[in-house]
Structure 1
Amino acid sequence: MSNEIQGVSHRMIVKEKESFFAGLDIGTSKIVTVIARTDEEDNMEIVGLGESESIGLRRGAINNIDATVESIKKSIEEAELMAGYKIKTVWTGIAGGHIRSFNSTGMVAIRDKEVSQSDINRVIETATAINIPSDQKILHVLPQEFIVDGQEDIKQPIGMSGVRLEVRVHIVTGAASAAQNIVKCIKRCGVDVSQIILQSLASSNSILSEDEKQLGTVVVDMGGGTTDIIVFSGGSIRHTGVVPIAGDQVTNDIAMALRTPTSEAEKIKLKYGICKQGLIENNENINVPGIGDRPKRTLSRASLAQIIEPRIEELYSLIAEIVRDSGFEELVSSGIVMTGGTSMLQGAAELGEDIFSTSKNSHSEV
């Protein structure tokens, strides 16, 4: 069974009670709850799935508590009804323009001249003993590699002999208030939060093979509110970034240009949207509802592409800039993997090939 169920990855599902698991994906466009259970052989079976329109979020951040609570509650209740089970806790994700990340290092003397778990814990603590803004909190400390007496590229140093242990880590932080608001909304639905994890990290773990992580891959998660970027190399995360442009901005562009309601613009985007004019084979006409009493109008699909293509080009250019500035561009041997609803737009992969000038494929989460 696929690890991807309506945008919720296997890595976002947590063991709850007995053999039941629950995960909650709070996105700008939709909210999805998945409930699963395992059999005696540890095989996972999806038994509950709930989806609701996401109301109360903008660009990955909650801006209306009451509306978000109702959206979450609807999604959870739908999944519980299907599963015949009431969940108590979930793991959930976090995204948005407030996400920050950086690399750090730490070093300690090895006790008893043999690396133990205690030594690993201590060296990671030294790597995280850094100043971060008071309004941010650490979400993840992700070890990249350990170094024992100068020997680099060690993934698991336990049991190795030496006197000095070093670590290189990637630290991800997020706005403390954003995390608190997520927890508050979920708790108001009668459910506790086991852990909050970076949404793009969960997506990456569900769509990338270990070989892709080792050889070097950029994951581009194109959601509704933000586009999240993760750079993998040598089996570890080297860089993360966020671009505040995604599917909602494309919808708004269409609504403004065509003077049509946002809800209608979204429908037009999903049904007729194309990111590259050169791919249009049938330049059909599209009916565009007017606002208020204004009459309907028609436009060609090529005209719609002229609205969408510049925005996606801008997005891809910003992504390419983030990858270049990360310093790991030359280590990305496996190219770029795109995921998220916006990556499903026709022509998204082809336009990306033009902009990124590298091998790339589109991996849709549906």
Structure 2
Amino acid sequence: MARRKELLVGLDVGAAKVAVVVGKSNGDDLAVLGRGFLPLRTVGSAPLLAAQRRGTVVNLKATTEAIVQAVHEAELGANCGILSVVASIGGAHVRSVNSHGVVAIKRGEVRPEDVERVLEAARALALPDDRQVLHVLPQDYVLDGQEGILDPTGMSGIRLEARVHVVTASVTAAHNVLACCQGAGLDVVGLVWAPLATAEAVLTQEEKELGVALLDFGAGTTDVLVFDRGAPRFSFSLGLGGAVVTSDVAHGLQTPFHEAEHLKVSQGCAVRDLVGAHERVEVPGVGGRPPRLVPRSELAWMIEARVEEIVQLVWEEVRKVEADRYLNCGVVLAGGGAALPGLDVLVQRVTGQQVRVAKDLVLASDDLSEDPPAVLDGIYAGALGLLRFHLRSRGEELVPQTSAHRVFRVVKSYLREFVSALRA
């Protein structure tokens, strides 16, 4: 009997936009979208405007409206209704720590429940009331002193230890993301830290095994996630991203914020020396003032100064814990900011690492489908990665369970009033 094909939806809630990817799974296949794995159905996006700050939701209504628009676009393209999603969460509130747990094996053979117990022991951190565990990511296991075990199930021993990478988040921030989704009429079946999802889409398994750092340049935050031997070893979120670069340009060139964003995207460069000496850009004025021509190198200088500061701050955290020792494959750049010309040159200069830019995502195919391989714009890496992460993590709890879940029913009722008006 053929396995049931399941509709999956990834909802990437970022500081600059909301992106939605709809796909299908065939049983337990871990899809790369294309012929036979997760056939891509559609993609939708909507601008978030000022709904978030430092990657954290600060305007429930604006964020919910953006989710409604993006989901509606995806529904039209997929010719289906969307009721549940795997959603992302990000922001400077996200923190991480390496932890470990130890349990005794009572029957001399490691069973699945023993693995669950040791992971529970590893996640038992002393957290303040305003924080909650988002992910417990196994690195490896130690059984009776034998290290480097990836899956101890079925092995003989009496003492099992788990080494894990624990990601925690603000309770309030997580609740706000869930409230926005529920206000848009969506059930959240998984909540995933955004850089983890991006890593699923842009990093190869070989890079994760040999050692690599993902630098995810978002509008509200810049995140780093270091892998080695297939598992996360270090992560950090800095509350500075592309939005602060745009702000610098707006103030420095005395132009409206949206015009500064356009200049950054269309004419910007992260390294001033890569810009021609005689190049000029037209800068719109503020409040009806006439536009003026300025050297493009001046724009690049403003961008370079801030981006270099961001990369240095992030890399200081990497070197502080000596996580750069893992990086046999260097650095991979992702996120909306990764499209900035010259960013790879600047990152290589600051870090001393080889650099790869994750651009378009080639969706793999097999012989089970007549659909040809497709290319997905890199801005949808997070949404695509959410689907992959969800498939790989089936059976695990992906939505933090807290007492505030009952609050969602109240918030959902409140938000549905203006959501109904939007869809009318």
TM-score band, normalised by shorter chain: over 0.9
Q: CA RMSD in A?
A: 1.5
Structure 1 segment 29-68 matched on structure 2, within 5 A:
29-38=16-25, 42-55=36-49, 56-68=51-63
The answer to which structure, 1 or 2, has the higher relative contact order (CA under 8 A, 6+ apart) is 2
For 1:233 and 1:38, the matched residues in 2 are separated by 28
For 1:142 and 1:260, the matched residues in 2 are separated by 45
Report the alpha carbon displacement of residue 18 of structure 1 after superposing the two structures with TM.
Answer: 5.1
Report the alpha carbon displacement of residue 49 of structure 1 after superposing the two structures with TM.
Answer: 1.7
Long gaps (5+) in structure 2: 28-34, 360-377, 380-424
Report the alpha carbon displacement of residue 38 of structure 1 after superposing the two structures with TM.
Answer: 4.4
* 1:5 paired residue number: none
* 2:111 paired residue number: 116
Give 2:176's match in structure 1, choosing from 172, 181, 201: 181
* 1:73 paired residue number: 68
* Cα contact 1:96–1:242 (8 A) shared by 2: yes
Which structure has the highest strand share of the two?
1
Residues 51 and 285 of structure 1, relative CA distance in 2, 3 Å threshold: same
Report the alpha carbon displacement of residue 37 of structure 1 after superposing the two structures with TM.
Answer: 2.6
Give 1:283's match in structure 2, choosing from 261, 278, 283: 278
Percent same amino acid among aligned pairs? 38
Verify: 1:87 aligned to 2:77, yes or no: no
Q: Which amino acid aligns with 2:148?
A: D
For 2:277 and 2:71, the matched residues in 1 are separated by 42
Give 1:28's match in structure 2, choosing from 15, 26, 41: 15
Structure 1 segment 195-234 matched on structure 2, within 5 A:
195-234=190-229
* Cα contact 2:276–2:297 (8 A) shared by 1: no
Report the alpha carbon displacement of residue 326 of structure 1 after superposing the two structures with TM.
Answer: 2.4
Number of residues of Structure 1 aligned to a counterpart in Structure 2: 350
* Cα contact 2:18–2:67 (8 A) shared by 1: yes
Residues 261 and 133 of structure 1, relative CA distance in 2, 3 Å threshold: same
For 1:153 and 1:99, the matched residues in 2 are separated by 28
For 1:69 and 1:192, the matched residues in 2 are separated by 13
Report the alpha carbon displacement of residue 334 of structure 1 after superposing the two structures with TM.
Answer: 1.1
For 1:109 and 1:188, the matched residues in 2 are separated by 45
For 1:283 and 1:307, the matched residues in 2 are separated by 17
Residues 283 and 136 of structure 1, relative CA distance in 2, 3 Å threshold: farther
* 1:128 paired residue number: 123
Report the alpha carbon displacement of residue 293 of structure 1 after superposing the two structures with TM.
Answer: 2.2
* Cα contact 2:5–2:25 (8 A) shared by 1: no
TM-score, length-scaled by structure 1: 0.93
* 1:326 paired residue number: 321
* Cα contact 1:111–1:119 (8 A) shared by 2: no
* Cα contact 1:106–1:168 (8 A) shared by 2: yes
For 1:282 and 1:61, the matched residues in 2 are separated by 39
* 1:297 paired residue number: 292
Long gaps (5+) in structure 1: 1-16
* 1:170 paired residue number: 165
For 2:321 and 2:229, the matched residues in 1 are separated by 15
For 2:45 and 2:111, the matched residues in 1 are separated by 45
Verify: 1:244 aligned to 2:231, yes or no: no
For 2:42 and 2:201, the matched residues in 1 are separated by 19
